[in-house]
Amino acid sequence: MKNCKKSFEIARQSSHQHGMKHILPFFFAWLMVAGLPLFARNVNITIVHTTDLHGTLLPTTNYDGQPDTGGLLRCATAIKKIRQETPNVLLLDAGDLFQGAPVSFLTQGSVMTRVVNQLQYNGWALGNHEFDWGMEQLAARLTETQCPVLAANLHYLPPNTASTGMIRAFAKVQPYIIRQVDGVNIGIIGLTTPGVPNWSRPHLISGLTFEDSVSALRKTVPKVKAAGAQVLVLLAHQGYRERGDDHASQLKSIAVAFPELAVIIGGHSHRFFTEQPLNQSLYTQAGYWGGALGRVDLTYDNASKRLISRRSTLVAMDSTVPVDASLLASVKPDLDRTETFLSQKIGETSVPLETPNKSKYESTLFNLLAESIASGLQQKGGRVDGVFHGILRENIAISPGPIRMRDVFQLVPYENTLGILQLNTSQIRELLENNAKLYASGQFRGFWGFLTRLKPSASIGHRVIFLGDPDGKPLDPNRRYGIAFNSFDLASAGLRFEIVRHLANLPECQIVEYDLQTRDAVASYIQQHSPLQITTHGWWQTERKPQARKTSRSP
């Protein structure tokens, strides 16, 4: 410290003797003696993020029934404003980018990748719904996307039939990137959800393996550090779960194993987390459909070489934020074509189609789904005795009158193909026993084509009280029955129905999968059977616990 004071005194005296033009060399000498960096300063970095857009370009109605919310074109306005006001901005997306909205369906996702390119995203982590349309379509989107595509736990071993274009497309998927922002190296690591094989049938993910998250990061994090990353950010299509990790989301384990992750940006679960401490990491998640735009603000101290501040906010994309006019103009032809497609009348119904009391009760909408699936598969040559299926979206109602294509998209929001298993009586009972355990949840499936009586409160093995054919006769124990499922359930429905995947893997069940989408089957059935006269049949009934009888006392 004496040397510092002496240097400063020399500089002060020199300024009197020689003027200010001679002071700088003495001043820099003093800084060096004091051990201070010549250009030490704080660097502010902003990370803007979206997730689970599901093809949503325009404002829509959210799960809570609130209209005029979200949409990527509304997010775009806020993104551009942040870039104008803030010098150091990175823009990221945490997956499920293009599957789920009609405009994206009609363009096979290309309308979303075009907007992503125009907004100049800096990174995109693959989500599970990116695989729903199969390898060819995903490869096409990977090829046209200009931003880095991230998934450290996704590995591609091309089968012999893979094309050069397919191999080149999946080679674009990287475990991480490093972006230098105002002299600071930001390491961005991507993860998809390892649960994809539990939702997608093997033909949709041919050649792909999905590694455990922690295992993949043990190999990736040291490489990112060795490459010079000073701040580590994890971009994951996984969602924080208070009750603990599952097959699809492993963020608690990740945060414990890798406390050096400064920020974890999540997705997948369609939840909003403004700022959630997760071990030593900051966790944030921007909901779904562009309902919020996530923003993380970091401050890095160049002197101490450490992050000294991090905070996160979610900016609501409500009616106060206008849609970006230039991007709207660029996608208007696609939106106009979509509106024409959705507005077309495909038939009519003479009765209301609805799902009262949620999926655990038989409804006219459920029977429309099941009858459509049975009819579509029979026209493909399949023998269908029963349909095992759930309500894909609740609180949907179609009043008597015309049915338009937009109604079908409301009823069937996602794409799933169909398949048939040949099951004997004991296998059907085992399936229904597992299903009955989910009766109180929204995951219960209806069973069309058979008369069943269930007691969900009973122990396993005693929940199916009766199982018979449509005439009420017991099933033939020596016969196999053709039971139809969608591809989601055939893959286990995210481990909810492991019994279905187990049965599908048994040679004796003779699985046959058809290139027939559930939505196409429904639309075709409406066209062929209009006006609809869908009724309920009492396919399943439940026995409830007996209630105590009320007694009255005489005065």
What's the pLDDT tens digit per position in 339-380?
Answer: 999 999 999 999 999 887 667 889 999 999 999 999 999 999
Q: Once rounded to an integer, what is the mean pLDDT over residues 384-394?
A: 92
24 and 98 share one domain: no
Domain-embedded: residue 90: yes
Domain-embedded: residue 259: yes
**Residue 176 CB neighbour total at 10 angstroms:** 24
* End position of a domain, from candidates 337, 367, 390: 337
In this predicted model, what pLDDT tens digit does every residue of 171-213 receive, in sequence order? 999 999 999 999 999 999 999 999 999 999 999 999 999 999 9
Domain-embedded: residue 282: yes
98 and 148 share one domain: yes
Q: Which residues are bridge partners to 284 per DSSP?
A: 265
Q: Name the strand (E) or helix (H) holding 423.
A: strand 417-423
Residue 40: which pLDDT band, with cuts at 50, 70 and 90? Answer: low
189 and 315 share one domain: yes
291 and 353 share one domain: no
Q: Once rounded to an integer, what is the mean pLDDT over residues 35-40?
A: 49
307 and 414 share one domain: no
357 and 402 share one domain: yes
Who has greater pLDDT, 427 or 442? 427
* End position of a domain, from candidates 337, 365, 390: 337
Largest CA distance in the chain: 115
* pLDDT value for 1: 44
- Return all residues near 250 (Cβ < 8 A) that are at least 6 apart: 194, 212, 213, 214, 238
Residue 247 has pLDDT above 90, yes or no: yes
Residue 112 has pLDDT above 50, yes or no: yes
Residue 3: which pLDDT band, with cuts at 50, 70 and 90? Answer: very low
* pLDDT value for 543: 81
Q: How far apart are CA 23 and CA 445, in angstroms?
A: 82
Domain-embedded: residue 548: no
Query: Residue 58 has which token pair?
Result: 């325009």
Count of structural domains, the chain: 3
Residue 139 has pLDDT above 80, yes or no: yes
Domain-embedded: residue 465: yes
* pLDDT value for 394: 76
Helices within 344-395 (DSSP H only): 364-379
Q: Once rounded to an integer, what is the mean pLDDT over residues 71-75?
A: 98
Residue numbers of the domain that contains 506: 345-542
- CATH number of the domain within which 400 lies: 3.90.780.10
Residue 442: which pLDDT band, with cuts at 50, 70 and 90? Answer: confident
Domain-embedded: residue 554: no
For every residue of 503-514, DSSP letters joined together read HHT-GGG--EEE
77 and 30 share one domain: no
Q: How far apart are CA 247 and CA 318, in angstroms?
A: 34
Domain-embedded: residue 547: no
Query: Residue 306 has which token pair?
Result: 């450490």
247 and 172 share one domain: yes
Q: How far apart are CA 203 and CA 209, in angstroms?
A: 13
257 and 139 share one domain: yes
372 and 321 share one domain: no
350 and 408 share one domain: yes
Query: Residue 444 has which token pair?
Result: 């219960």
* End position of a domain, from candidates 297, 319, 337: 337
* pLDDT value for 130: 97
Residue 290 has pLDDT above 80, yes or no: yes
Residue 196 DSSP SS3: helix
Domain-embedded: residue 61: yes
Residue 288 has pLDDT above 60, yes or no: yes
